[in-house]
Amino acid sequence: MTRRDLFKVAGVTAASAVVTGCTASTGVSTPNTQGATNTLMPKSNGKRVVIIGGGYGGLTAAKYIRKGDKTTEVVVLEKKDIFMSCPFSNALLGGMEDVSLDTLTHDLYSGAQAHGYHMIQTEVTAINRGSKVVTTSKGTIDYDILVMSPGIAYNYEDQFKGWDANKIADIQQNAPAALMPGSEHLALKRQLENMDDGDVIITKPAGKYRCPPAPFERACMIASYMEKEGIKGKVIILNENKSVAKGKAFKEAWKELYGKRIIHMTNCNIDDVDMDKKEVHFTQKDSLGDTKKRSHKFQVLNLIPHNKANPVVEMSGVETTTSFGKVVMNGCSFQTKSDKNVYAIGDVVGHAIPPSGQTANWAAKEAASEIVAQLNGKAHTLGVKAKTVNAGNVCYSMVGDKPESAIMVTHDFSWTGKVIKGKGNVPKPKDGKGKFRSKNVAKATREWYRGIVSDLFA
Ligand X SMILES: Cc1cc2nc3c(=O)[nH]c(=O)nc-3n(C[C@H](O)[C@H](O)[C@H](O)COP(=O)(O)OP(=O)(O)OC[C@H]3O[C@@H](n4cnc5c(N)ncnc54)[C@H](O)[C@@H]3O)c2cc1C
Question: For binding to ligand X (CB under 6 A), which residues are involved?
Answer: 52-58, 77-80, 86-87, 89-90, 123-124, 149-151, 179, 210-211, 214, 310, 312, 346-347, 355-358, 360, 395-396
Kindly state the smallest distance separating residue 13's Cβ from ligand X, in Å: 27
Kindly state the smallest distance separating residue 388's Cβ from ligand X, in Å: 20
Kindly state the smallest distance separating residue 286's Cβ from ligand X, in Å: 30
| List of E strands, 35-72 | 48-52
CA distance 265 to 236: 7
**Whose Cβ is closer to ligand X: residue 156's or residue 267's?**
156
Phi, psi of 269 (to 5 degrees): -95, 120
Contacts of 193 (CB under 8 A, 6+ apart): 4, 7, 8, 11, 15
CA 199 to chain centre: 25
Instruction: Give just the sign of the alpha carbon dihedral 320, 321, 327, 332.
Output: negative
CA distance 196 to 233: 9
CA dist 18 to 190, 193, 249, Å? 11, 15, 35
**Whose Cβ is closer to ligand X: residue 56's or residue 64's?**
56
**Whose Cβ is closer to ligand X: residue 159's or residue 356's?**
356
**Whose Cβ is closer to ligand X: residue 230's or residue 451's?**
451
**Whose Cβ is closer to ligand X: residue 278's or residue 305's?**
305
What secondary structure does DSSP assign to 67-90, as a single string? HH-TTSEEEEEESSSSEE-STTHH
DSSP conformation class of 418: S
**Whose Cβ is closer to ligand X: residue 123's or residue 193's?**
123
Kindly state the smallest distance separating residue 401's Cβ from ligand X, in Å: 16
Written as one letter, the residue type at 62 is A
**Whose Cβ is closer to ligand X: residue 218's or residue 278's?**
218
Kindly state the smallest distance separating residue 352's Cβ from ligand X, in Å: 15
Kindly state the smallest distance separating residue 85's Cβ from ligand X, in Å: 7
CA distance 229 to 234: 13
- The closest residue (CB) to ligand X is 55
**Whose Cβ is closer to ligand X: residue 280's or residue 304's?**
304
Helix (H) or strand (E) run with residue 249 in it: helix 247-258
Q: For residue 413, give the 3-state DSSP assignment.
A: strand
Kindly state the smallest distance separating residue 150's Cβ from ligand X, in Å: 4
**Whose Cβ is closer to ligand X: residue 354's or residue 383's?**
354
Cα angle at 360 between 181 and 175, to 5 degrees? 25
Contacts of 451 (CB under 8 A, 6+ apart): none
Kindly state the smallest distance separating residue 102's Cβ from ligand X, in Å: 18
**Whose Cβ is closer to ligand X: residue 133's or residue 278's?**
133
Kindly state the smallest distance separating residue 186's Cβ from ligand X, in Å: 13
Contact (CB, 8 A) for 399 and 407: yes
Kindly state the smallest distance separating residue 396's Cβ from ligand X, in Å: 6
- Residue 38 CB burial class (10 angstroms; 0-12, 13-18, ≥19): exposed
Instruction: Give just the sign of the alpha carbon dihedral 144, 136, 183, 97.
Output: positive
Kindly state the smallest distance separating residue 346's Cβ from ligand X, in Å: 2
CA 80 to chain centre: 15
Q: How many helical (H) and strand (E) elements, i.e. helices and strands, does the chain have?
A: 14, 22
**Whose Cβ is closer to ligand X: residue 110's or residue 284's?**
110
